Chain A
Amino acid sequence: MRRLRTLAAGAASVPITLFGLVLITFVIGRIVPIDPVIAIVGDHAPPDVIAHVRAELGLDKPLPVQFLIYVDRLLHGNLGRSVMTTHPVTTDIAHYFPATIELATAAILIALAVGIPLGVFAAARQGSRFDHVVRVLSIGGQSVPVFVLGLIFLLVFYVKLGIAPGTGQQSVIYEGMVPYVTGMHVVDAALSGQWDAFEDGLAHLALPALVLAYYSLGYITRMTRAYMIDALRGEYIVTARAKGLSARRILWRHAFGNIAVGLITVIALAYANLLSGAVLTETVFSWPGLGLYLTVSLLNADMNAVLGATLVVGLVYIGLNLLADLAYRLFDPRVR
Chain B
Amino acid sequence: MSMALFRDWLLSDAPESRRQAACGRAYRGWLSLRHNPLGMAGLLTIVFLLVVSLGAPLLSTQSPDTQHLTLRLAPPSAAHWLGTDQLGRDLYTRLLYGGRITLGMVVAVVAVVAPLGLVVGAVSGYLGGLADRLMMRVTDIFLSIPQLILALAFVAALTPGITSAIIAIALTAWPPIARLARADALTIRDTDFIAAIRLAGASRTRIILRHVMPLCLPSVIVRITLDMSGIILTAAGLGFLGMGAQPPMPEWGTMIAATRGYILQQWWVPTIPGLAILVASLAFNLLGDGLRDVLDPKQT
Residue numbers of A with Cβ under 8 A of B are 13, 16-17, 20-21, 23-25, 28-29, 31-33, 135-136, 139-140, 142-148, 151-152, 154-155, 159, 222-223, 226, 272-273, 275-276, 279-280, 283-284, 294-295, 298-299, 301, 303, 306-307, 309-310, 313-314, 317-318, 321
Cβ contacts under 8 Å, A314 to chain B: 144-145, 149
Offer 24 A-B interface pairs, CB within 8 angstroms, sorted by A: A13-B137, A24-B141, A135-B38, A135-B289, A142-B229, A143-B278, A144-B281, A145-B274, A146-B237, A147-B253, A151-B256, A151-B260, A154-B263, A155-B264, A223-B300, A279-B148, A283-B240, A283-B241, A295-B152, A306-B153, A307-B153, A310-B149, A310-B153, A313-B145
Minimum Cβ distance to chain B for residue A98 (Å): 18
Q: Give the residues in chain B near A306, CB-CB below 8 Å.
A: 152-153, 156
B236, A139: Cβ atoms under 8 Å? no
The reply to whether A276 and B148 form a contact with Cβ atoms under 8 Å apart is yes
> Given the complex of chains A and B, what is the CA–CA distance between A306 and B152 in angstroms?
9
B135-176 Cβ-contact flags toward A at 8 Å (1 or 0): 001101110111111101110111100000000000000000
Q: Are A145 and B140 CB-contacts (below 8 A) given A28-B157, A155-B267, A310-B150?
A: no
Task: Flag if A143 contacts B281 (CB, 8 Å).
Answer: yes
Chain B residue nearest to A140 (CB atoms) is: B282
User: Does the CB pair B263–A155 fall under 8 Å?
Assistant: yes
CB distance from A32 to the nearest CB of B (A): 5
B242 near A: Cβ within 8 Å? yes
CB-nearest residue of chain B relative to A226? B300
Given contact pairs A13-B137, A148-B277, a sample of 14 additional A-B residue pairs in the complex whose CB atoms are under 8 Å apart: A17-B140, A20-B142, A31-B158, A143-B285, A145-B281, A148-B274, A148-B278, A151-B271, A154-B263, A159-B267, A276-B146, A280-B240, A298-B156, A317-B146
Residues of B within 8 A of A32 (CB): 156-157
Task: Decide if B233 is an interface residue (CB 8 Å cutoff).
Answer: yes
**B188 CB, min distance to chain A CBs, angstroms:** 24
Residue of A31, A143, A273, A279 touching B152 (CB-CB under 8 A): A279
Query: Which residues on B sit within 8 Å (CB–CB) of A148?
Result: 256, 271, 274-275, 277-278
* A140 CB, min distance to chain B CBs, angstroms: 7
CA distance A144 to B274 in the complex (A): 9
Output the nearest chain A residue to B159 by Cβ-Cβ distance.
A33
Cα separation A210 to B166 with both chains bound (whole Å): 30
| Majority-rule SS of B interface residues | helix
Q: A145 vs B264: C-alpha distance in the bound complex, in angstroms?
A: 20
A148 to B269, CA, bound (A): 12
Most B Cβ at <10 Å: residue of A226, A307, A310, A321: A310
Do A294 and B263 form a contact, CB below 8 Å, given A147-B240, A148-B278? no
Q: Which of B194-246 contact A (CB under 8 A)?
A: 229, 233, 236-237, 240-243
**Given A32-B157, A144-B278, CB of A279 within 8 Å of CB of B141:** no
Residues of B within 8 A of A136 (CB): 38
Give the chain B neighbours of A16 by CB distance below 8 A.
137, 140-141
**Interface residue from B154, B237, B274, B281 paired with A280 (Cβ < 8 Å):** B237
Residue of B nearest to A295 (CB): B241
In this complex, how many residues of chain B approach chain A with their Cβ under 8 Å: the count is: 46
A234 to chain B, nearest CB (A): 16
Verify if B250 is at the interface (C-beta below 8 Å from A).
no
A76 and B6 alpha carbons, distance in the complex (Å): 71
Q: Is the CB of A151 within 8 A of B263?
A: yes
Output the nearest chain A residue to B280 by Cβ-Cβ distance: A143
Known: A32-B156, A276-B147. A145 touches B236 (CB 8 A): yes
CB-based nearest A residue for B278: A144
Among A28, A159, A298, A317, the residue within 8 A (CB) of B241 is: A298
Distance of A29 Cα from B242 Cα, bound (Å): 20
- A317 and B145 CA atoms in complex are apart in Å by 7
Whether A139 pairs with B282 at a CB distance below 8 angstroms is yes
Chain B residues whose CB sits within 8 angstroms of the CB of A317 once the complex forms:
144-146
Query: Are A139 and B149 interface neighbours, CB within 8 A?
Result: no
Residues of B within 8 A of A33 (CB): 157, 159
Contact partner of A17 (CB less than 8 A), chosen from B144, B158, B282, is: B144
Query: For residue B279, which residue of chain A has the nearest CB?
Result: A143
Residues of A within 8 A of B243 (CB): 298
When distances are taken between beta carbons in the complex, the residues of chain B under 8 Å from A301 are 156
Q: How far is the CA of A310 from the CA of B150 in the complex (A)?
A: 7
**B99 on the interface (CB 8 Å rule)?**
no
Contact: A139 with B285, CB < 8 Å?
yes
Any A CB within 8 A of the CB of B64:
no
Closest A-B pairs by Cβ, 3 of them: A20-B141, A148-B274, A226-B300
Q: How far is the CB of A263 from chain B (nearest CB, A)?
A: 13
At the interface, yes or no: B185 with Cβ under 8 Å from chain A?
Answer: no
Interface flag for B286 (CB, 8 Å): yes
**Which residues from chain A contact B256 at a C-beta distance below 8 Å?**
147-148, 151
Complex Cα gap A299–B240 (Å)? 12
Shortest B145–chain A CB gap in Å is: 4
B270: Cβ under 8 A from any A Cβ: yes
Residues of A within 8 A of B157 (CB): 28-29, 31-33, 303
> Whole-angstrom distance from the CB of B41 to the nearest CB of chain A?
10
Residues of B within 8 A of A151 (CB): 256, 260, 263, 270-271, 274
Q: How far is the CB of A166 from chain B (nearest CB, A)?
A: 10
Cα of A16 to Cα of B141 in the assembled complex, Å: 8
User: Known contacts being A152-B274, A283-B241, is A20 close to B156, with CB within 8 Å?
Assistant: no
Chain B residue numbers with a CB within 8 Å of A295 are 152, 241
Name the one of A31, A152, A284, A318 contacting B144, with C-beta atoms under 8 angstroms: A318
Given contacts A148-B277, A155-B267, A280-B240, contact A21 B144 (CB under 8 A): yes
Interface string of B257-300 (1 = CB under 8 A from A): 00010011001001100110110011001100100000000001
